[in-house]
Structures are given as C-alpha cells and as structure tokens.
Amino acid sequence: MQMAGQCKYSCETAAETFQWIKAIVDFLKPFTFLISAHVVNFFTDKLWEAVDKDWIDSLRNEPIENLLLIPSGVVQDHWPDSLKEFVLTLKSLLLPREQADLYKVLPGWQVTSLSSVLAQGMNLKKKHEVEVLSAVVNLVANSISANTIVDVGAGQGYLAQVLSFQFQHSVVAIDACSHHGKVTNARAERIKKHYSAQIRKFGSENRSLNMPKTITCQVMSIDMLRALTNMSLPKDDVEQPKLTVQDNKKLDERKLQTLGNTESETSLVLAGLHACGDLSVTMLKTFVECKEVKAVVSIGCCYNLLTEEGFDIAGSLCGFPMSCGVKSANFPLGKNSRDLACQSAERWGSLHRDAGVHNFELHAFRAAFQMILYRSN
C-alpha cells in the first residue's frame, strides 16, 4: 500500500497559481467523458468500456475497504503502474484542506460558549459553528472598528443574534426566505426579553440592547448587495424595522440606492455561515467593488449550485469561474462535475465495509431501475 506524497504546487504568486490550474485541467481533460456523466450513466451507458481494461480487471475484485480509500490517494502495490500514477497524481493536485490554527492566525481570538438562551434551537454542530464563527467575526469587526456587520444568507438568525446580543454589534440579517425573517424576529424578541430581565435584575438599566435588523430579499446581483450593505445602523437603535423586498424581478434599484446614500463614512463586514452557491461569490465581488466593505468572513457551501458560464446564465453574472486564470483555461465543468467535486474523500475513507457496499448498491439499483424504465417506454 502506498500513500500520496505532498503537493508540489503553490498559490504564493499568480504565476504559480495559474500553473496549478493548468496542471489540473491537463489532468482532467482525458477523463471529461467520465466526470461529466451522472454516476448512473456509468452503468446505463457502459462507460466502463472506455476505462483502461487493466484498471477494471484490477479493481473488479478489490476489497471494498481498499476502494473506499482511493479518493484519499491510497494505492495498492499490485495495481498497474498507470493506475497508481493516476491516483497519486490526482491526490497531488488537490488543494490543501488542513485546518488553520486560528489562535496563530488571529491573535486574541477566543471562543465563548453560548448560553442556553442564545443556543436555543441549535443542534451541536450548529452551536459549534456559530460559537467559532461569531468569535472570528467579532475580532475582525473590532479590528476595523466596523459600524455594522451584514449577515448574508442569515437563515434563522443564529449568527446575527449572537453578534448582536453577546458581542453588542449592530447587525443586518439578510435572507431570501420571508419565513426565516419572521423566525429571526420572533427569536430575537424572546432573547431580548431574557436580556432585559437580566439588566433589570442586576441594575444595569443604562445598558442598551442591539437587535438585528432583518431584510427579506433575494440577493440577485452585486449592485443589490452593495446597496443593502450601505445601510448602516446606529448603535442605540433598539427597535429595528424590517424591510421586505416582495418582487426581486421588479425591484427598483433606485430605491435601494437611496438607502445607501449616507454622509458619514461607514465600515462594514460581510459575514456568511453556509453562504450557498453564488452567494459566496457575490459577497467576494461586493468586497472588491464596494469601498464601505472592509472585510469578508464567509464559510461557503453547496459549490455544486454555482451557476456556470455557458450552462446557466451570462458570463458576467455567473458564479463560476471567477478568476481570469480559470476562464483562460477554457474548461467547462457542468452540473455533474460540480456535484462530483463536492464529494468528501474523508467521508468515503471513514465508511465501514457495509456502509460502502450499501452506497454502491444504491447507485447500481438506481441504474438498473432506469434501464427498466427505458426499455418499458
């Protein structure tokens, strides 16, 4: 058994980054037929016939446990040299996924456990994510003396409310779902009652409470997010109104622009926990184009839902590719390839034999069912 070595590529300079991009594209091009196909089509279209016969013969009788380790770059000594080279090269091209030591990257960063009131409705995973990210956003916001934090794709307001009530920041929570806005407001009112009672109990009547301002609006463009981020909230504004944009297609951009007209200099932070698909891209582009936005703290997700030039919408509005380097490579992915890219090597490697067999069987049975449907039509 062999393990993949360290990556020989770097992103230290633009030239080195482009060299890495080119190496990935050159590696993938011969296998476009495979990565662009749905996994079911591997069976229904007999795609295995286009794969090296020696590879198929070698893998056909391989123990499930070894197959599950392939995405992690683990090869077996008895495999054909070409197959081992393929797996090891693939592993060497991956972007690094090692977790950074936030205590070194962000001196002064400290995680505070959420109270039961702020953590209401959160499962353990969500609670951990909000605790860590809120501490990062708080540190970044304080370092640039931010007037307002804009929580983009706020969901039910978990992050926004921790930043408001625990860290006392002025927060705007934007989400496309009106139901989420209502839940955020109702939840914030309950939290406010608790904190107000605590203030009265301990005689701190002079302390004010920040409530996150909720905006229901589907962020369709950079201009829209730029206008929304320009809405600065004063620190002593306790009763925050709610803005709802009912029809994004008929949205009057001029009305939004007037919201951003402010005489005072503003300093904003864009924050996003699970900013889905194009939302992460829009946040980054807004950071580049909007001078009021001084920092971005974003945890993206659902990269398979990125819109792609040539597949979904016009190039200037698409979420992928973003860089000139990737665009110049002229290598479109498509939905199936993006879905494949979201697979986790660590997840597959952690599966036990029975779970691995179950996953493979699901695809095989799904393919068999599709073939029956084809033949019955």
pLDDT in tens, 103-113: 888 888 889 89
pLDDT at residue 4, as a whole number: 56
Residues whose CB is less than 8 angstroms from the CB of residue 361 and which lie 6 or more positions away in sequence, other chains included: none
Distance of CA 265 to the CA centre of its chain: 30
Q: What pairing do the DSSP bridges indicate for beta strands 268-276 and 148-152?
A: parallel
pLDDT tens digit sequence for 230-276: 654 444 443 344 544 444 444 444 434 444 444 457 789 999 999 88
Residue type, 346: E
Q: Determine the Cα–Cα distance for residues 174 and 256; give it in Å rounded to an integer.
A: 14
CA 337/CA 72 separation, integer angstroms:
18
User: What does the pLDDT read at residue 138?
Assistant: 95
Number of continuous H segments (helices) and E segments (strands) in the chain: 17, 6
Please tell me the distance from the alpha carbon of residue 70 to that of residue 76, in angstroms, as a whole number: 9
pTM flag (> 0.85)? no
Q: Across 167-320, where does the E strand assignment appear? A: 171-175, 213-216, 243-244, 268-276, 293-301
pLDDT given for residue 231 in this prediction: 55
Pull the structure tokens for residue 55. Answer: 């590879």
User: What pLDDT is attached to residue 203?
Assistant: 67
- For strand 171-175 and strand 148-152, is the pairing parallel, antiparallel, or unpaired? parallel
Helix or strand run (H / E) with residue 150: strand 148-152
* Ramachandran class of 113: left when φ > 0, alpha when ψ lies in -120 to 50, beta otherwise: beta
**Nearest CA among 47, 60, 43, 49 for reference residue 372:** 43
* DSSP letter for each residue of 320-371: B--SHHHHHHT----HHHHHHHT--HHHHHH--HHHHHHHHHHHHHHHHHHH
Residue ranges of the chain with per-residue pLDDT less than 50 = 232-241, 243-263
Give, for 193, the enclosing helix (H) or strand (E).
helix 178-201
Distance CA 71, CA 88 (A): 10
